[in-house]
Structure formats: C-alpha cells, structure tokens
Amino acid sequence: MSQIAAQPDARIDRPIALVGLMGAGKTTVGRRLARALGLRFFDADREIERAADRSVVEIFSDFGEEAFRDGERKVIARLLDEGPCVIALGGGAFANDATRALIREKAVTVWLKADLDTLMERVSRRETRPLLLTGDPRQVMADLMAKREAAYRQADLTVDATSASHQATMKAIVAALEDAGVLS
C-alpha cells in the first residue's frame, strides 16, 4: 500500500479525500498533507493498479472506462474503511454518482480547484492520462471541467490549488479543515 506515516492523527476521525481534475495536485499535495497530519496516504489510482495488476491506461484500453469505474469504486470502498488517512482520488471518481455518495458518507472531501492553464501545464509533463491520449488535450480538459464541476462543488471544502506551491496548498487544506471543525 502507498503509505506514509504509521500513526493516525487523533485530531481527525475519518479519511480525507482529495477530489478534482487531473493535474490539480491531489497526489503530491496529499502526500504532504498525510505527512503533516501523521496519517497514512493512499493514491487511489495506484491502489487500483495494484488490485488489477495493470496500469490505469491498460485498464481503460483493455476494458473501457465503465469497467475501470467499477473497479475504482471497489478499491475506494476498501480505502475508506482504513480509518483516518488521506486519499488522492482519480479525477473521475467523485464525478460518478455512486462513488461520490460512498465517499461523502465516509470521508471529508476537499476539492482542489485549479484553472485550465494550470492544469494543462501540469498534465503535459506526463503521458499517463488515458482521457487525454485522444483528441485535443486542452479541449478534453475543458470539457471535463465543465462536465465535472457540479460534482466537485459537492465536496465539503474547496481549496484553490491554482498558483500556490504544493506546500502552501497543503497548509490551506489544513486551515480549511480546522476552520470547518474537522481537525481539532
């Protein structure tokens, strides 16, 4: 398992799930957040790859998005039962109605919101984003933003992840969790 830190922070009693589009910083910021809070960290996509013994790109290619989303929901359900931890969700997880309901029931959710230019600059560094491998990546990302924003708005908290460093974004999440009374 992709774990950082072994001792849960007594200041929180449930998982923290980071949601948002690819490139928002969920994994990088999530690792820092877990470390700062003394919690375990899980990257949902990496956990899906371990469970399936194949990459996300291969799962999409071999079985399609619907099969991926089904496996994703099962892995996320398992991670949510891990107790207090930080989970970086894949960009589409929270957009799926059934998966979103499961996450909202068991975790505090934080939307890492970033603008299109920031997201494109970040995702252009790797070719591991299956939804961006066909068509015009910028248009695909813009379409995903429009399609998923209503779901992301249902997160418990929203943190701007556009221009700040990963460390500053992590600190903004901690402050938002404290302000919301989630961390004591």
Binding site for substrate: residue ranges? 45, 69, 91, 148
Binding residues for ATP: 23-28, 129
Query: Which alpha helices (H) appear in 97-165, and where do they start and end?
Result: 97-106, 116-123, 137-152
Binding residues for Mg(2+): 27
**Which of 58, 39, 180, 181 shows the shortest CA–CA distance to 130?**
58
Q: How far apart are CA 124 and CA 44, in angstroms?
A: 21
Q: What residues are paired with 77 via a beta bridge?
A: none
Tell me the torsion sign for CA atoms 146, 182, 30, 6. Answer: negative
Binding residues: 23-28, 45, 69, 91, 129, 148
Q: Which 3 state secondary structure label does DSSP give 110?
A: strand
Cβ-in-10-Å burial (0-12, 13-18, 19+) of 100 comes to: buried
